[in-house]
A and B are shown apart, each in its own frame.
Chain A
């Protein structure tokens, strides 16, 4: 599952002092600052309710908060959102939310068609993406007849067909068996794009991301190389992300 190289523009992300709240007096994001480089694998970890998914929705203008979000130097706002959405692909946590067309191929074609590409180019992209994701033969299948792992792959394919410069994953490792996690790690490693992952699963995030930020109660607590953040047990414990329970279980088993 190695997606082909595609033409890349700048896949940088700059978030400055981003604040957002769904309801008054209940801020979800409180002055978030993040800078992500082109082609980087960047992880954002944090406990449930930390604001990870909300933060992700700001990257392509699904949500707008106070502060600035820049993608490839372009500020994300209502005017630039259509263009930004073709550059930032979003893989949602629940593939069922992402797959709403009657067949797999129509789901994959949905993004490229909305980008205004011609029918031949769309068909070519659908075919290529199906090959890249080893989904040949799935074209006419209905997504709700597939297994969860297959649906996750199709959901990713729907985004990759748009050839985005940035791919943002929301909890990509949840509900996957270990072999699927391994496959996904390979895909993420080989993606010719900047990758942003928000997750509670520290180990796979650390395995594929060079840098990690820890988000807690809408604020970035720390940002640094994955191996350093993962070793900071006090920090993880303070964010309810302590791994020591797994350590003790592993010691007992192995």
Chain B
């Protein structure tokens, strides 16, 4: 594969966008210089003046925690919020495998440019070049920062940092802390945040859920929250608001996300005017533990790093019910190695997931219900010994055994794809600002860097790049540019938002119907997985667009939320979130229907090559879909931000 680059001249003037609000504000100049140049050109806030500005940060995961801590360090007056009982529990904590950085400590040919290229290609050429280049550039600083904070990354006997390889890359650039990299990075950010809380620059509000954005004169000026212990609904005003509230995989009910992960903050912002970009881009992770029954409440991911040493296979013969050990070598189909010889078991997530679905659709799936494939470590155990495998993946193997009751050292793991990450999110410009001025969005909650598919070990990188480095710079520019008045709690817009939230909460309690919140959520999840999951068709999506509004209607007439609003009421919390998921589900299906091409995690059956690979349509769909709310998801208006590739040539993504 060759990388073609254009001569390094600025040609952004040719960029078209159909709506002035979709100006991505990408700085001019060669891609290597855009960020430094932009940092120089941005206005700064004098250190002595920073404490006069209040910044709200919603979410305390990698992006939110890092942003709140850094803004606090800089001297801003920060108000941070999380729904968990402690900032340390945000779902970034569950990321297992690692974090990419273009350090090239392995001397294996890595560079910022290669990481940039891999990420663009991994995203199936549906991400913005300038953002991705900046991400690759900052990846290097992230590792430095985390080590300085005391993150105990894996090390070699020399004392230097260790690396491993990950899906979609042919270099070893992934830094890791056993199988708990997300946990360690989050604890690093949480500790920095704690330091600022102690210093008084950050006020942290735990067990507090954001339920609306306050928009005054077209700018985001605060949020409405509900204290989840007392039920008190309150307003908070500020000069700028950052949402770092994660992704919306739980729209599928079953996903690898934490039970509390929700779209409410992003959806409320969308309803107040923030465009929602690429909602249909969801990532299905190939290595999750299969569903065991109707009681299933969530799915558990087994790190992709397992594919470094595990081999994926199914029986060649459909309906082969023999135990895996009894299936001879020549009757096994190592389908990833067969179909993608150069990447083999490390083929990117979307490709591996779809391949698993295909073999299961052919009746060659294994385990109960035939929805599973083997991930086999017997070769690696033979080659390296059980102890070496235990040292690498011990905690993952233990987790697998706890959940399934099977010993993966003895027999192969069974895995199946599950929804894991959402590349879509609120639309943001190069400054990570949404279409509501003053409303910034970081981490998984925005759409910016992963295009139509995210490579492994890139989510942690993006969250921390946004939080530690991008947002603290770009927010200063916004504040210094000014142009808005001071507001306080008495402003009519604040009162109006407060009233709306109060009424909505009361409405949920007043319905007093017959069905539990969970039953609606499960039903929505089934619709989404069936029609807007691993593969999508026009008919299916059209059908889903009939079912979802009906479900919404039923929800608002028949949901049963017991208890009151002025106490800890977990059913009430869930009800508000599910109501938003139902609306989002509809928008996702509309987006998936509109994008009649296959790209990355979005696979339209109508658009595939003769051998079943995704077929992109760059002539018609090389854009970001940005949806504007118009009162109802069915009325949402599509705006397009055209994607221009100046450095990378659009190519068919091949991992063969």
Chains A and B come from one and the same complex: no
Residues of A within 8 A of B (CB): none
